[in-house]
């Protein structure tokens, strides 16, 4: 064999290695983005480092080429994350705190009523003579809420967000979302509605909110709206506390199961009407994108939406899917848009639960083997056990408490969550054709919503349902050791598989 042939084979081996382990590269980029939250780098230094690594890629051996490219992506992610954080920390309106002026704002999310005022996510487009496009928190008197997507005109006064109190630092939380000022107003009027992608998302959300439970009112409608749209505003404070105490509050955050039902429903509809699979996959892509836009930028739904979309793209491209790669791509997109997302409880809980399903679930299933438990119930308990152990440290560190009975609560709730989502989307589709049929479907779905509310109240009301931080760190250490045992066992099985 000639030297040229040997080198060619080495090059081919290197690129095969690169294609075989794409999650190493995606993980390196995520690590670089995450590093920016700990320390930022200047653009010039990062660019020079990346150039040096790219040069090393050209001369490295095949295995070194993968490592060099991973290092280049880490440095590039670090530089990009630093630039994004600098952009998020900049504010034009912060220099006008204390001033009042006629203002034009676009409502970008649903209003929340805390009993004292309405708090509305918005974006100021004009403040007096100043033309800007900066996100703010809009405070309005309690009363009618402005619709999402509406363009409002009103007089506002700018103030700083509230400082840390009672364990919550609102100013830091808002800053991590690019919000640096609060706009306080009173009388407002709608002068238009936003268009483009945002306007489309507003219309889809309004359609879902209107048609997912026609004829239902009160608590049952609020539970369905919370599970389908991730909106808990309609729930009473008592029921919200019950969902938290029982460990079922994650049901009110849109998850991968919602995205799965959207994609499966569209693919099933395409099959029923006889459309080719490729057209169904394109429809699934459009449906997933529409749903993600409608429910908003929640880490769990964006992660699930990206995974679902990549699954459809993988089928269209006839390439095998890789669940770890999809998970990392979801994290990469979220962190590239806002590296502060790494510090968000929703991001941490969502990704901890998915990693637990990937790694610890097989171990949890083996623990339950041999017990006289039906298969479906055993799977529900195993998922609840794995996810509960993985998310407990996050709940403790972020909120200072852990729901003690989350495993039995989720085992009780699991049988109805899938049917509830399916009936909700079925009612939304049926409402466009037959409002009467949609009302019948929604009425049946209301019983499932009532059952979930009962589960939350029953489990959340049990003695010792919540372990709080004043009980000491012993519980956290116990949870951490249990999670480590599950993770090591699951990782060993994953790494040793052929």
pLDDT at 326: 73
pLDDT at 125: 93
pLDDT at 493: 43
pLDDT at 23: 74
Element (H, E) at 132: strand 130-140
pLDDT at 374: 64
pLDDT at 339: 92
The separation between the first and the last C-alpha atoms of the chain, rounded to the nearest angstrom, is: 31
Question: Structure tokens of 442?
Answer: 């929604």
pLDDT at 497: 43
pLDDT at 351: 79
Residues 6+ apart with CB under 8 A from 174: 137, 161, 180
- Average pLDDT of the residues of the chain: 77
pLDDT at 489: 47
Distances (CA, A) of 497 to 24, 219, 369: 18, 48, 20
pLDDT at 455: 92
pLDDT at 64: 66
Number of H helices, E strands in the chain: 18, 8
Distance of CA 249 to the CA centre of its chain: 14
Question: Considering the entire predicted model, what is its pTM?
Answer: 0.75
What is the helix, strand, coil percentage profile of the chain, to 5? Answer: 65, 10, 20
Q: Angle, nearest 10°, between helix axes 237-246 and 435-460? A: 60
Low-confidence ranges of the chain (pLDDT < 50): 1, 3, 6-7, 10, 318, 320, 471-474, 476-498
pLDDT at 311: 59
pLDDT at 153: 93
Are 131 and 137 a contacting pair, CB within 8 Å? no
């Amino acid at each position: 064999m000639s030297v040229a042939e040997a080198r060619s084979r080495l090059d081919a081996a290197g690129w095969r290695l690169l294609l075989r382990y794409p999650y190493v590269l995606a993980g390196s980029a995520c690590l670089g983005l995450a590093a920016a939250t700990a320390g930022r780098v200047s653009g010039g230094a990062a660019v020079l480092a990346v150039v040096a690594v790219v040069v090393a890629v050209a001369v490295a051996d095949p295995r070194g080429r993968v490592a060099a490219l991973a290092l280049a992506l880490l440095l590039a992610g670090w530089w990009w994350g630093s630039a994004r954080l600098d952009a998020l920390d900049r504010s034009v309106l912060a220099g006008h705190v204390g001033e009042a002026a006629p203002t034009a704002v676009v409502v970008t999310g649903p209003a929340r009523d805390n009993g004292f005022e309405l708090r509305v996510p918005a974006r100021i487009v004009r403040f007096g003579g100043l033309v800007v496009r900066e996100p703010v928190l809009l405070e309005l008197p309690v009363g009618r809420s402005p619709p999402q997507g509406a363009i409002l005109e009103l007089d506002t006064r700018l103030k700083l967000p509230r400082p840390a109190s009672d364990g919550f630092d609102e100013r830091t939380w808002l800053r991590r979302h690019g919000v640096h000022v609060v706009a306080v107003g009173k009388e407002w009027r709608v002068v238009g509605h936003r268009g483009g992608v945002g306007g489309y998302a507003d219309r889809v959300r309004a359609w879902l909110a209107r048609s997912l439970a026609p004829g239902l009112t009160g608590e049952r409608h609020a539970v369905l709206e919370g599970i389908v749209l991730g909106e808990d505003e309609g729930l009473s404070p008592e029921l919200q506390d019950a969902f938290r105490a029982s460990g079922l509050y994650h049901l009110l955050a849109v998850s991968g199961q919602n995205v799965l039902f959207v994609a499966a429903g569209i693919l099933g509809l395409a099959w029923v009407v006889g459309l080719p699979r490729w057209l169904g996959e394109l429809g699934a892509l459009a449906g997933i994108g529409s749903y993600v836009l409608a429910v908003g930028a929640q880490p769990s739904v964006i992660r699930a939406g990206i995974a679902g979309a990549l699954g459809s793209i993988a089928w269209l491209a006839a390439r095998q899917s890789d669940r770890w790669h999809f998970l990392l791509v979801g994290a990469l997109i979220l962190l590239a848009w806002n590296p502060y997302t790494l510090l968000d409880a929703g991001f941490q809980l969502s990704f901890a639960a998915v990693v637990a399903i990937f790694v610890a679930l097989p171990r949890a299933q083996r623990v339950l083997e041999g017990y006289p438990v039906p298969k479906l119930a055993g799977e529900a308990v195993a998922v609840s056990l794995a996810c509960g152990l993985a998310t407990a440290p996050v709940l403790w560190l972020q909120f200072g408490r852990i729901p003690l009975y989350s495993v039995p609560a989720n085992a009780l709730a699991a049988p109805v969550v899938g049917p509830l989502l399916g009936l909700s989307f079925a009612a939304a589709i049926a409402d466009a054709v037959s409002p009467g049929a949609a009302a019948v479907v929604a009425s049946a779905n209301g019983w499932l919503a009532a059952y979930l509310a009962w589960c939350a109240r029953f489990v959340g009301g049990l003695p010792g349902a919540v372990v709080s931080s004043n009980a000491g760190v012993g519980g956290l250490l116990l949870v951490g050791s249990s999670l480590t045992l599950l993770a090591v066992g699951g990782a060993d099985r994953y790494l040793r598989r052929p």
